[in-house]
């Protein structure tokens, strides 16, 4: 904001030009004209009113910006869901990685989201609510899915190689044919989950909740790491296999 102070009336030109060299007169004359212009304008209240109006308009713009922030967030969420739904059932990413991550960052539940067959490698959705979601045949290699709620989710044939699912809730999830090779399943709840023909080679199974696994027939448990006591024996008794090399 400009601080307005009264300006002194410029001296008359006859006095101002005294004792000036001839070559300085044009420059001093220009400066003298500007001094008179500034003096005249400084006493024009209209300009001061315009300045106050300009400051007020900035304040109004800031108020409107914050008051409409909720609408902007809703619009952003709508556009993210539009990206996800438009690409439903298609391969590739189609912008779904960014859309899913943006929604999850804003704590939006992703219940029932369908991204089957999508390319989502490196997806980061920690602690997302993915109840009843469909990730069947999706490429989720090296994704961060720690703490997600995969209850009743469809992960049939999903590629989860190297993915982090620590503390995920996979209760009653369909993990048949899922590739979990080298994945981290620390503390995962597998109660009621179907793991038939899943590839668990070299997966970290430390502290998994496994006693109520629904089925594990033909699941490959070769080289699993930190498996809870009794898990391997029970898995083999229920049809799991120990094959260092994946069947051709």
pLDDT at 2: 52
What does DSSP assign to residue 162?
T
Of residues 74 and 139, more confidently modeled: 139
pLDDT at 68 over 60: no
The residue assigned the tokens 């315009």 is 50
Task: Name the packing angle between helices 69-86 and 45-67 (round to 10°).
Answer: 40
pLDDT at 188: 98
pLDDT at 209: 97
For 110-161, write each residue's pLDDT tens digit: 999 999 999 999 999 999 999 999 999 999 999 999 999 999 999 999 999 9
SS3 241: strand
SS3 7: coil
For 2-48, write each residue's pLDDT tens digit: 555 666 777 777 676 676 677 777 777 777 677 767 766 666 655 56
pLDDT at 54: 66
For 226-242, write each residue's pLDDT tens digit: 999 999 999 999 999 99
User: Maximum Cα–Cα distance for the chain, whole Å?
Assistant: 114
pLDDT at 19: 65
Q: Which residues contact 203 (CB under 8 A, 6 or more apart)?
A: 180, 181, 182, 183, 184, 185, 224, 225
- The model's pTM is 0.72
pLDDT at 88: 85
Using only C-alpha atoms, the chain has a radius of gyration, in whole angstroms, of 35
**52-68 mean pLDDT:** 63
Residue ranges and CATH numbers for the domains of the chain are 18-67 (no CATH), 90-248 (2.160.20.80)
């Amino acid at each position: 904001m400009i601080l307005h102070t009264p300006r002194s009336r410029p001296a008359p030109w006859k006095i101002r030009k005294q004792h000036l060299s001839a070559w300085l007169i044009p420059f001093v004359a220009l400066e003298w004209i500007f001094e008179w212009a500034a003096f005249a304008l400084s006493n024009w209240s209209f300009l001061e009113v315009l300045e106050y109006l300009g400051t007020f308009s900035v304040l109004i713009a800031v108020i409107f910006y914050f008051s409409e922030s909720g609408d902007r967030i809703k619009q952003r969420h709508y556009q993210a869901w539009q990206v996800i739904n438009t690409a439903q059932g298609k391969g590739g990413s189609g912008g779904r990685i960014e859309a899913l991550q943006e929604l999850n960052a804003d704590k939006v539940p992703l219940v029932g989201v369908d991204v089957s067959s999508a390319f989502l490698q490196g997806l980061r959705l920690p602690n997302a609510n993915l109840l009843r979601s469909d990730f069947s045949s999706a490429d989720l290699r090296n994704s961060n899915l720690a703490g997600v709620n995969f209850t009743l989710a469809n992960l049939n044939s999903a590629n989860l190689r190297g993915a982090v699912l620590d503390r995920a809730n996979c209760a009653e999830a369909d993990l048949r044919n899922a590739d979990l090779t080298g994945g981290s399943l620390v503390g995962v709840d597998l109660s009621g989950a179907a793991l038939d023909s899943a590839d668990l080679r070299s997966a970290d199974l430390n502290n998994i909740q496994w006693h109520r696994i629904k089925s594990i027939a033909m699941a490959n448990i070769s080289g699993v790491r930190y498996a809870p006591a009794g898990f391997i024996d029970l898995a083999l008794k229920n049809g799991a296999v120990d094959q260092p090399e994946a069947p051709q």
